[in-house]
Each structure stands twice: as structure tokens, then as C-alpha cells.
Amino acid sequence: MTKKEDDFYEKLKISLNETTEFPADYMFKFIIPNKEDLKKQVTANFDFEGAVINTTLSKTGKYISVTVLTRVDNASVVVKKYREAAVIKGIISL
């Protein structure tokens, strides 16, 4: 990770701690190219945690929106999950 990315995640963590009372339900949102292997990679990051995972195909069929609702214990878990997802090729975290 670059310094810029580290700074972003540190700011996110601070913001979450200021605005969210943990444990809390947290919604992760991603956009990925419409490739089954990418969809599996994203959902595998949350599959074992009892998360509710919804996917929606874009109108053109080029992208998949992935929404994950899961319970998290603290801001560090949120940051960890975004960092894990960031290595997936073509992913956009929202």
C-alpha cells in the first residue's frame, strides 16, 4: 500500500470511530467488472461472516454492483475488509 492509501484508510477509521457506535451493521458497496471470478473473490471475503450479500447487474451488463451488509465489531474490521477488497483487479469501493 502507498502512503496515500494508508492515509486514506487511517482517515476512514477515525471518521468511523467518530460517527458510528460499534458493534454495528455496516454496508460495504463495490462495483466490479462482470466476471464470475471477480464476483466470487468479493463475496468470499464476507461469505463466512453471516453477511447478507446482494448483487445487481448494470443495465449494460458490463458491471456488477455488490452490496454486503454485515455486523462489525469496530472500525478496524471495516478498514481491514476494504484493504482486502482493494487487491481485487478492477474493483471500485464505494
When pLDDT is averaged across residues 28-49 and rounded to a whole number, the result is 92
Is 32 strand, coil or helix?
A: strand
- Report d(CA 47, CA 59) in Å as an integer: 26
Nearest Cα to Cα of residue 94 among 57, 67, 56 = 67
Is 79 strand, coil or helix?
A: helix
Q: How far apart are the first and last CA of the chain?
A: 18
When pLDDT is averaged across residues 22-49 and rounded to a whole number, the result is 93
What is residue 50's predicted lDDT score, i.e. its pLDDT?
A: 83
Task: Tell me the whole-structure pTM to 2 decimals.
Answer: 0.90
Query: Pairing mode, if any, of strands 24-33 and 92-93?
Result: antiparallel
Asked if the model's pLDDT at residue 49 lies above 80, the reply is: no
- CATH placement of domain 3-93: 3.30.70.260
